[in-house]
Amino acid sequence: DGLIWLDGELVDWRDAKVHVLTHTLHYGMGVFEGVRAYETDQGAAIFRLQEHTDRLFRSAHILNMKLPYSKEELNEAQRAAVRENNLDSAYIRPMAFLGSEGMGLRADNLKVHVMVAAWEWPAYMGEEAKTQGIKIRTSSYTRHHVNITMCKAKANGNYINSMLALREAIDSGCEEALLLDNEGYVAEGSGENFFLIRDGIIYTPELTSCLDGITRKTIIEMAQSLGYEVREKRITRDEVYVADEAFFTGTAAEVLPIQSLDGRIIGEGRRGPVTEKLQTMYFDTVTGKNPF
């Protein structure tokens, strides 16, 4: 139930449909965002809306898709999707995809459609995970070539590996996967950026094989404002095993402590003090309690 913004109009949730010959359904050429609105004293507030819209446009540019709306129109579409569905807090999903005007890789007459849906978001991995942390495993799937060259794009086609990696992790009793790049260095989770802490210094992979996460950037800025040194560098798997703390960041995952990797307990095996400080600062900021 509710309304979805589709090609410039709010339409009934049930009428927001695509044809089975929608080009993106077949070939995966599409871009999307994951955005979140939090309940604040001033009503629902969309966190880092402009940054998400900017990234959607960058993703589309990388894929050579021309979005038929301005950034401001898509900002407003996201606000409308929250407002018109009377949501206090929401997950917002903008997506641009190619229509069904043609089939095959050579089709060049395809319309670029844009939709924005918003819905209430339950806790991503449960409340307990926020303090106890999650178990993760190194994935047998890597961030392959397309992901590495195209990792700045939040593109539909980039998520096959993420889904395979996540399923593999869940099937082996873990909650999330850690994907390595082609050279064996830590890249990111299936939908999260990765951080570790060792001797009071915070490390995160460089932006060579992971998405330029908006939460990642926020956390780097918050950590620096608290006086921590943040180093972007290549991280190996064994560095994670012997880290004092590790956590994931993402719009959906927020700041999520990691308990163990491949059965090796990390630090105390639950949320560490630095992670807790950053997590608290993040939640206080997104909910408008104590804006950063």
Q: Which residues are catalytic?
A: 154
**Contact present, 207 and 232 (Cβ < 8 Å):** yes
CB-based contact 7:88 (threshold 8 Å): no
Adjacent-strand bridge partners of 5: 10, 116
Nearer to ligand PLP, 181 or 188 (CB): 188
- Please, what is the minimum distance in Å from the beta carbon of residue 59 to ligand PLP? 11
Using DSSP, state whether 131 is helix, strand or coil.
helix
Please choose, out of 10-18, 123-131, 213-221, 259-267, the segment that lies near ligand PLP by the rule CB under 6 A.
213-221
Residue 250: beta bridge partners? 254
Site string for ligand PLP, 232-261 (x = CB under 6 A): -----------------xxx----------
Question: Which residue of 213, 257, 267, 272 would you call a contact of ligand PLP, by CB under 6 A?
Answer: 213
Does residue 139 interact with ligand PLP by CB under 6 A?
A: no
Q: Judged by CB under 6 A, which of 23, 137, 216, 271 binds ligand PLP?
A: 216
Compare residues 100 and 279 and give the one whose CB is closer to ligand PLP. Answer: 279
Taking CB under 6 A as the rule, does residue 204 contact ligand PLP?
Answer: no
User: Over the range 9-19, which residues count as b (16 or more CB within 10 Å of their CB) and which as e?
Assistant: ebeeeeebeee
Token pair, residue 288, equals 């408008």
**Is residue 192 near ligand PLP by the rule CB under 6 A?**
yes
* From candidates 85, 100, 142, 215, binder to ligand PLP by CB under 6 A: 215
Q: How far is the CB of 60 from ligand PLP (least distance, A)?
A: 16
Which is nearest to 10 in space by CA: 86, 120, 84? 84
**b/e burial code for range 265-283 (CB count within 10 A of at least 16 → b):** ebbeebbbebbbebbebbe
CB nearer to ligand PLP: pick between 16 and 211: 211
- The interaxial angle of helices 214-225 and 49-62, nearest 10 deg, is 130
For the CB of residue 253, give the shortest distance to ligand PLP in the complex, in Å.
8
Q: How many of the chain's residues bind ligand PLP (CB under 6 A)? A: 15
Q: Which of 10, 25, 28, 34 binds ligand PLP (CB under 6 A)?
A: 34
Q: Closest separation between CB of residue 71 and ligand PLP, Å?
A: 17
Residue 5 or 282 with smaller CB distance to ligand PLP: 282
Per-residue three-class SS string for 33-76? CCEEEEEECCEEEECCHHHHHHHHHHHHHHCCCCCCCCHHHHHH
| Pairing assessment for the beta strands 134-143 and 254-261 based on DSSP bridges | parallel
For ligand PLP, which is the closer residue by CB, 217 or 237?
217
Q: Which run of H or E residues covers position 94?
A: strand 90-98
Does 181 sit near ligand PLP (CB under 6 A)? Answer: no
Residues whose CB falls within 8 Å of the CB of residue 17, separated by 6 or more in sequence, listed in order: none
CB closer to ligand PLP, 78 vs 100? 78
The residues of the shown chain that bind ligand PLP, judged by CB under 6 A, are: 34, 162, 188, 191-193, 210-211, 213-216, 249-251
